[in-house]
Amino acid sequence: MGLVDVAKKLDFKDFYEQWVTMQHVTMDELQRALQDNVIQGKDLEETVEKARVLYVSYYDAMDKAAKEDVLQVISPSWRSSLERAFMWLGDWRPSSAYQLVYGLAGQKVEQEIAQLLSGVEAPSLDSLTASQLASINSQQLETLEEEERLRCQIAALQGRLADRPMVSLAEIIKDATGGIECYTVDKPRTVLSGEDRASGLNDDRRNERISTAEGLIKMEMYERLQRLQELLLAAVSLRRRTLDGLLHTLTSLQSAQFLLASFQLQSALRHSAERLKQ
- Total of domains in the chain: 1
Residue 88: phi and psi, rounded to 5, are: -130, 105
Evaluate whether 232 touches 61 at the Cβ level (below 8 Å): no
Which pLDDT value is given to residue 224? 84
The interaxial angle of helices 130-159 and 96-117, nearest 10 deg, is 150
Residue 264: phi and psi, rounded to 5, are: -65, -40
pLDDT category of residue 49 using cuts at 50, 70 and 90: very high
Q: For residue 112, with 0-12 CB atoms within 10 Å meaning exposed, 13-18 middle and 19 or more buried, which class applies? A: middle
Q: Rounded to two decimals, what is the model's pTM?
A: 0.76
Does residue 211 sit in helix, strand or coil?
helix
CA distance 193 to 178: 4
Top mean-pLDDT range of 6-15, 30-39, 240-249, 256-265: 240-249
Top mean-pLDDT range of 145-149, 165-169, 219-223, 265-269: 145-149
CA distance 7 to 57: 7
Q: List all residues 6 or more positions away from 30 whose beta carbon is below 8 Å from its beta carbon.
A: 47, 48, 51, 256, 259, 260, 263
DSSP assignment, residue 183?
A: P
CA distance 50 to 54: 6
pLDDT category of residue 212 using cuts at 50, 70 and 90: low
Which range marks the domain in which residue 23 is found? 3-277
Cα 226 to chain centroid, rounded: 17
Average pLDDT value for residue range 254-265: 93
CA distance 205 to 202: 5
- Helix-then-strand count for the chain, H and E: 11, 0
Asked which of 135-149, 174-188, 225-239 is least confident by mean pLDDT, the reply is 174-188
Does residue 277 sit in helix, strand or coil?
helix
* CA-to-CA dists, residue 186 to 182, 183, 189, 233, angstroms: 12, 9, 10, 35
Evaluate whether 259 touches 94 at the Cβ level (below 8 Å): no
DSSP string, 96-164: HHHHHHHHHHHHHHHHHHHHHHTTPPPP-TTSPPHHHHHHHHHHHHHHHHHHHHHHHHHHHHHHGGGSH
88 beta partners? 91
Q: Over the chain, what is the mean pLDDT?
A: 79
Q: CA angle, corner 252, sides to 107 and 18, nearest 5?
A: 90
CA distance 47 to 58: 17
